[in-house]
Structure 1
Amino acid sequence: MQKQHMLGLLALAIATFFLLDGPQVFSLDNIREHRQALSAFTERHYLAMLLACGVAYALSTALSLPGGTVLSLLLGFLFGRWVGTGLILLAATLGATAVFWLARYLLADWARERLQGHALSQKLMAGFQEDAFNYLLFLRLVPLFPFWLVNLAPAFTQVSLRTYVITTFIGILPGSFIFANLGQSLGGIESLDELFSRQTLLALSLLGGLALIPVLSKYMQPNRFGG
């Protein structure tokens, strides 16, 4: 019954988000249109907005709802690059950890069914067998993989909760800073495509490549080739 109740609550939360037109509310155009009112409200109720935005971001991550990128920009706009980065880091790590815990301990059957319908999930899970820490760090650093999938797949491997939390926190740090920093110029961003410039993707890919060096070095050892 506990699992059924939890699934019911999750389904209700997701349904409520879409019934209240969440994708439109958290769209870039809507945030840009109301940025002055949001900024003024934050100045009057700073701590309340800090808590509300943190909870909203964590829930968005935990429920794999759309709008995470816009929320990251919004936090950078409302709280600045440093506080915004810290809030994104904390909220995203908590939300991702909730996904991991639910998938591994409470909603394993449901999560496994969801993964089975995604071809990339099996390849991701196979990668954790060699070097879970560096492989997960690579997946976090390089923003080319669905965030919800990277949150979910490790729950069905030997990755420990400690490794998951540490690599999540470290891996999303560069991207969190980039989005929070860009959020300060929210009014000048016309589309989300502008955020993913070749230079930004290249820089994050190079960081991800560094994380994979220990994994690749294992394949270069002589005993792997019978030497």
Structure 2
Amino acid sequence: MSDKSLPDKSPLRHLPLIAIAIIAVLGALLLRDTLSFETLRTHRETLIDYRDAHYLASVLVFMALYVLIVTFSLPGGLVATLTGGFLFGTWPGVLYNVVAATAGATLFFLAARWGLGERLAARMDESEGRIRALKDALDANQWPMLFLIRLIPAVPFFVANLLPALVGVPLRRYVISTFFGIMPGALVYTSVGAGLGAVFEAGETPDLGIIFAPQVLLPILGLCALAALPLLLKPLRRGKGL
């Protein structure tokens, strides 16, 4: 069913987003203790045995579950990333994690854009004054802004998935910036997951705050500065008439 087959105010447009919201709330209430690090610790041997016996099936099942977690904003996204590293190693685990996370984020983006984003973006285009100026600024700086919200660790993944849908970001641009923008953080946590075997054997808990360690955070901040560079240079170019 195409977007144009339904009136702009049709309640059916909101159904995917409503379904996501309901499942997200239920997931937060019912799965908070299920999709956890302790669950991974408890079932690690079963997971490894299944992976060894059915590698391709384990990859497909893992990625499908990861897509569901991201699409419906369920708890356990970080644990899923750790699991990807634990089961499949830093490589190709990081590839499975990034592809699945991007696919789930894209499904969420499409639902949000179909239900709310297209009309909101159209209204911003038709508006005047500060709202229109804000929309024009966002349109002129979409690439650096999209990469920034993906690279900055403090921006929640859910927020980074939702905001682009509400301001009319094109799908292709969203997918590309998501895929490459989440790679640094995914690589860090996938590598942590790849080392979970030793952590489990020692009866310890992984340091999930490692992304804020200087040796990890500083390179990510460097990427943030690189992404923000066009935002800084544009006013200077205008001032010099370039």
Which TM class, normalised by the smaller chain length? 0.7 to 0.9
Greater Rg over alpha carbons, structure: 2
In the superposition, the TM-score normalised over structure 1's length comes to: 0.81
Q: Number of matched residues?
A: 213
1:10 corresponds, among 20, 34, 41, to 20
Amino acid at match of 2:221: S
Residue in 1 aligned with 2:66? Answer: 57
In the superposition, the TM-score normalised over structure 2's length comes to: 0.77
In 2, the alpha carbon distance for the partners of 1:140 and 1:44 equals 36
Question: What CA deviation, in whole Å up to 9, does each residue of 1:123-155 have, x standing for no partner?
Answer: x98863441011111211221101111111011
Residue in 2 aligned with 1:72? Answer: 81
Secondary structure of 1:128's counterpart equals helix
How do 1:1-227 and structure 2 match up within 5 A? 2-3=12-13, 5-7=15-17, 9-11=19-21, 13-14=23-24, 17-18=27-28, 21-108=30-117, 128-187=138-197, 188=199, 189-221=205-237, 223-224=238-239
Distance change >3 Å, CA 225–CA 192, structure 1 → 2: same
Question: What CA deviation, in whole Å up to 9, does each residue of 1:42-99 have, x standing for no partner?
Answer: 1112222211110111111111122111110101110111121111111111111111
In 2, the alpha carbon distance for the partners of 1:149 and 1:128 equals 16
Distance change >3 Å, CA 215–CA 97, structure 1 → 2: same
* Structure 2 spans left out of the alignment, 5+ residues: 1-10, 122-133, 200-204
Amino acid at match of 2:179: F
Deviation of residue 2 (structure 1)? 3.0
Secondary structure of 1:190's counterpart equals coil
Amino acid at match of 2:98: L
Secondary structure of 1:203's counterpart equals helix
Report the identity percentage.
Answer: 36
* Structure 1 spans left out of the alignment, 5+ residues: 113-123
Question: What CA deviation, in whole Å up to 9, does each residue of 1:198-220 have, x standing for no partner?
Answer: 32222211111111111110022
Secondary structure of 2:155's counterpart equals coil
- RMSD across aligned C-alpha pairs, in angstroms? 2.7
Amino acid at match of 1:13: I
